[in-house]
Each structure stands twice: as C-alpha cells, then as structure tokens.
Amino acid sequence: MSGQPSKLALALNRAITSYQAGQLGEAEQICQKIIAKKSNFFDAHHVLGIILASQGKNDQALTSYNRALAVQPNHADTLSNRGNVLAGLRRFDEALANYNRALVAKPNHTGALNNRGVTLHTMGRHDEAIASFERAIALQADYVDALCNRGNSLNALKRYDEALASYDCAIALRPNLVEAISNRGNTLRELKRYDEALASYDRALALLPNLVEAISNRGITLAELKRYDEALDAFARAIALRPNDAELFNKRGVILDQIKRPAESLADYDRALALRPDYTDALYNRGNALHDLKRFDEALACYDRLLPLRPNDGNTFNNRGKILKELNRYPEAFACSARALALLPHDIIAHCNESLMRLLTGDFKRGFRDYEWRWKKADMAPAQRNFPQPLWLGEGDIAGKTILLHSEQGFGDAIQFCRYAPMVAARGARVILEVRPPLLQLMRSLAGPAEIVASGEALPAFDIHCPLLSLPLAMGTRLDTVLAQVPYLHVVPDKSAEWGARLGAKTRPRIGLAWSGNVIHERDKERSIGLRNFLRLLDVDATFVSLHKEVGADDAGVLSERRDILHFGDALADYTDTAALISQLDLVVSVDTSVVHLAGALAKPVWILVTYVPDWRWMLEREDSPWYPTARLFRQIAAREWDSVLARVHGELGEFVARGVG
C-alpha cells in the first residue's frame, strides 16, 4: 500500500526507540543492518553517528557522519553533530568549520550557534563565543543552555555582573539547572560575595549532592573566608568522589600552602603529578613548596623541568631566580630576573625581587630606584600615604619648603634611615619627622628635624613628603657614599643615669643580648634563634643583659630559671630606655632586629648574627657594615645553621672579655 513506511524506515524507528531507552548496543546493530541493506540511507548514517557519539566512539561516529554528508552535504543537523564530535576530540578548528557550514545551510540553527560558542569558549575566544550565544538567544529567548554558557564566557572575561545576570535568567527559566547554579557561585566568589557563593554551591549540592565541581569550589570559597578546616574537609570529600582528578590535589595543595603546611602540600602536588606528569600548575606549585621547605636544589630541578613546558612564563623565571639567590648563585639569579622582567615588565614581585638583589650585591643606584616598586605590593598598602602634597625623591630645590619625612616599616628601618634627616635639613628645608610612638622621645636627640610627631597624631602643615626608606634614593646614595657618621642618635642624660643606677656597680664587662625579632616578620623563623641557644655564651666572665621588653613563653621560662641574665621587661617603656640601657653596656650581641640598628646608631659595638641569605642591608660576605662602623657580622655558612655561628661568637666573646674591655 502506498503511504506506508518501508521496512527499513520501521527498522530505523526501532533503532531510535532503543537508543532513547538506553539500549545503545541494540540500536547500533539495527542501524548497521539497515546500512548493510541500503548503503546510501542518509537517516541511518545520521542516527548511527548520534548513537556512536553517545558511546564515546568518536572516530566511528565521524565515519558515519561523513557517509551521511556524502548523501546530503548541507544537512545542518549532521554538520552540527559532526562539529560536536570534532570538538570532543579537541579538533577545534575543524569543529568550527562544521558549525559554520551548518549555519550557512540553516542560519537560525540555535544548536549550532550554541555549540559553536562552547567551542570558541574552550579555545579562549570568549568575545566571539558570547556573540554566538547571543545570536542563539536572539532566535530563542528561552534557550537556557545558551544563557548558561554565555554566563561562563562573561565570567571568563571578568564581566561578573553580566555573567551573574545571564545565570539568573537561565535559572529563572529552569530553577533546577545545577550547572548554572554552581557556576553562579563561581561568579559570586570572584565578586568576593563569599557567603552568597556558598549559598549557591549549597543549593547546587542539594540538587546533586556529588557534584564534585561545586564541592571543590565551595572548598576554595571557604579558604577565602579563612575557614581552612572546612575547606580541607570539602576537598577530602571531592577527592573521595574523584580520586584520580589531578586538579583536586593541586587545589588542595594550594590551600595547604596558604596555611603554611608545605610538607602536606608537596604530597598533594606529587599525587597530582603522578596522575598527570605534564601538569604544569602542579609542577610550578611543587617548586614553591620545596622552596618553603628549604629544599632548594630540588626546587631548582622542579623549575628546570617546568621551563621547557612553559618557556615564556615569567613567574617561573622569577621563582627560579629566587632559588638561585638562596643557593648563592647570583649571576644566574640576575639572568633569571632579567628574563622574568622581559616577560613581565610590570610585575610587582619581579621588580621587588630584582631591587633587593641589587641592594644586596651593592648596586645601590639601581637597587634603590627599583625599591620604589614596594609601594605596589599589597602588604605595603597600609603604610602608603596618599597625601595631596607631592612626593619628593630628590628632584628640585627644597630650600624654604617644609618636608614631612615619615616612617613606613619596622622600628629598625626608622632608626637606620632617620640619619638622612640632617642632610635634608642641610638643603634648606624645614624637616618634620613622623615616627611611631615608641620612637618619639628617642628621635628628639636627632639633629635636623624642626619637629617630631608621633604617627596617628594630627600633622602640621607641610609642602612635600618622603618616606624614610626612599631617602637613600632621594639623596643619590651609593655604596661608597653611605652616610655612616655615628652616633647620630643620643641617650637622654637622665635616662642614662637611671639605668646606670639600676645596673649597679660595674665589676666586669656588660654584654647585651637580643635573640629574636618581631614574629610577624616574613623571615623571622630564619633570623630568630631563641634564648636556649644563647645559653652557651653565658659561661664567659661577663654580666649578660636581656634587651627584650617582651619575650615568648619558652624564653620566659628560661629567664625564670637563670639568674645570670638580667631582664628588665616592662621597665623598658620605649626606645629611650633601651638606648639608655645599651649606653651602659660594652657590647651588644643580637640577631637581625631593631636592637642592632639602635646600637649602631649610638656607636656602640654590636655583633650581628646574620642568616646565610641576609637582609639586603648586610650585603654579602663582608664582616663589617657600611651603615654602622661599630658593627661586626657573624654569618651563617651554607648549612644555614646557628650552632657554628654561636660557637664563633662564643670564642670571640672570650677574647673580648680577656682584653679587659670595660
């Protein structure tokens, strides 16, 4: 009878029914039998391509689509589906060509427009992707997938408010669209709306409890909120669900880095690399963890392995340079720094690292110039002063002007660089010096300033300003022109007498000790030693005096057990007291902290215990300091331990006392 479906058409319907029922093998067999009977049956080839693609048999699916297109070369659905398979094979340019052919054949093919946008997004061509999604949405305003995908591309372009609006449109049309809800959380996280982001992830997980992406992104958000235990719990859950996902281990490693657990983060990076040996992010992070663990040779090997994979990554060169600095290989470190700056000419960290290496190696001209990059660092933001008055860095005549010199970092920095105030005054300027309150009275002994004010107080009128650590740049300081006349700070006479009375009659040399610095200093664990390690010095025939106002619990316990260390604690009200106490001593022995700057500024003999890779101001190899003529440096050797340093100090102390000093 005419008008009845053919046997082949009926068979194809059975294949489609089987496919829709999830019986993919049976559907494939039926299509193969149809094609065996009629090799040019377009619909059979087209449906077989769909079935094979759904099974991940992409190469076979391509063959089926090719045979279908041989029969109907401009069939839009087949071209679009073929594009999907090619995109899945990461043959993106070929995929785009197929979508474009489909759109020539059928300009209003919304599926081809959406899938074309997804491929462009994957290729990083986000503006073009958005244009493709918007064409689809213009044709079909309720096209939820296109709205969600547009949100993804807008998010990638950091157009977060627009991305949020796009996700919201998709969710309004389909309230349980998990992908849009979860990705909306990502956008809220980028906007730092962390609580709302968590709410989005929780909503997605209520719909799909094992959605790993939402679990891991929730973990990242919890880390942003410094809820680290919860963040790690989230990643443990995500990893349990997907134990072979290298990205999850890498992301958890980053969180462990943030909370200073580098050994655990290293284990996660190693696991990520075991799963994906060419995973460059994990390799980069592994190098950073090894740096934190002070396994510098291994860190260098890690970056060396990374460079062929990311030959133009400035951050890798920068970090490699930091490792070479730690290994005392400065020519190579400078070469890495130069490469980093060539690749990242505006990178703050690269410029700051370069400046510190220049200063450390005595290139003060370039070092102090580049040191101005410090103001772009986030951790310097609290110290930056945004005055309407101009910044002065040495340009122009300042005679007759009032200049504010203001401290910016630690107490030691202020003590070291206040020495420039008389030079500024000598140029004819009226100098106002602003320092933190504990330094206020001490600075009144400094020549040059017409007025001393404490930070936080109302400032008098001024015309120009300069931070204290910018003064060497302003004054054109070079290694051979360091202003090293000491003393430039002086003890209040009444204070000196007061502390002399406290100490009583002097029967033997007096030696001041400072064994630790400010715990918030980024390298404090390297420079601070602890009082127990100093005890070996105490068998020298001298009176030992603590120069600490406050001590930690362990040090307090030691002090309570020892009667051979004088400790005055809260009697050191401010730096005038510390200066007066130092004035009563014959020698100060200290780690790198503000005490050494104070002793040096008072022209008191001071022995400074210096780390293997020192703060820039102590430079390299030399035993003296251009900043303080009375200083002597005791440096760590390559083993980076304090025992040998303290042994040398102990021996020298014996000779110091034997000479009858004091």
Euclidean distance between the first and final Cα of the chain, in Å?
126
Q: What is the pLDDT of residues 154-172, one digit of tens each?
A: 999 999 999 999 999 999 9
Question: If you average pLDDT over every residue of the chain, what do you get?
Answer: 94
Question: How many of the other CB atoms lie within 10 Å of CB of 161?
Answer: 10
Tokens at 495, concatenated: 């204070």
The whole-number pLDDT of residue 3 equals 52
Q: What is the pLDDT of residues 138-150, one digit of tens each?
A: 999 999 999 999 9
- Mean pLDDT over 249-267 rounds to 97
The whole-number pLDDT of residue 375 equals 95
Q: Does residue 360 carry a pLDDT above 90?
A: yes
C-alpha–C-alpha distance, residues 130 and 330, integer Å: 48
Q: Write the CB contacts of 207 (distance below 8 Å, at least 6 apart in sequence).
A: 176, 178, 181
Q: What is the DSSP string of 395-433?
A: -S--TT-EEEEE--S-HHHHHHHGGGHHHHHHTTPEEEE
DSSP 8-state code for residue 458:
P
Q: What is the pLDDT of residues 284-303, one digit of tens each?
A: 999 999 999 999 999 999 99
Q: Looking up tokens 């300027």, which residue turns up?
A: 429
Q: Does residue 2 carry a pLDDT above 90?
A: no
C-alpha–C-alpha distance, residues 636 and 649, integer Å: 12
**b vs e for 505-542, b when ≥16 Cβ sit within 10 Å of the residue's Cβ?**
eeeebbbbbbbbbeeebeeeebbbbbbeebbebeebeb
Q: What's this model's pTM, rounded to 2 decimal places? A: 0.85
Q: What is the pLDDT of residues 323-354, one digit of tens each?
A: 999 999 999 999 999 999 999 999 999 999 99
* Lowest-confidence region among 107-121, 179-193, 558-572: 558-572
Q: Does residue 137 carry a pLDDT above 50?
A: yes
The whole-number pLDDT of residue 661 equals 57
- What's the count of helices (H) and strands (E) in the chain, helices before strands? 33, 10
Name the nearest CA neighbour of 439 among 427, 429, 430, 449: 449
Question: How many of the other CB atoms lie within 10 Å of CB of 232?
Answer: 19
Q: Looking up tokens 């740096």, which residue turns up?
A: 291
Percentage of the chain with pLDDT > 90? 88
Confidence band (pLDDT; 50, 70, 90) for 659?
confident
Which has the higher per-residue pLDDT, 433 or 527?
433
Q: Does residue 1 carry a pLDDT above 80?
A: no
Q: Write the CB contacts of 37 (distance below 8 Å, at least 6 apart in sequence).
A: 8
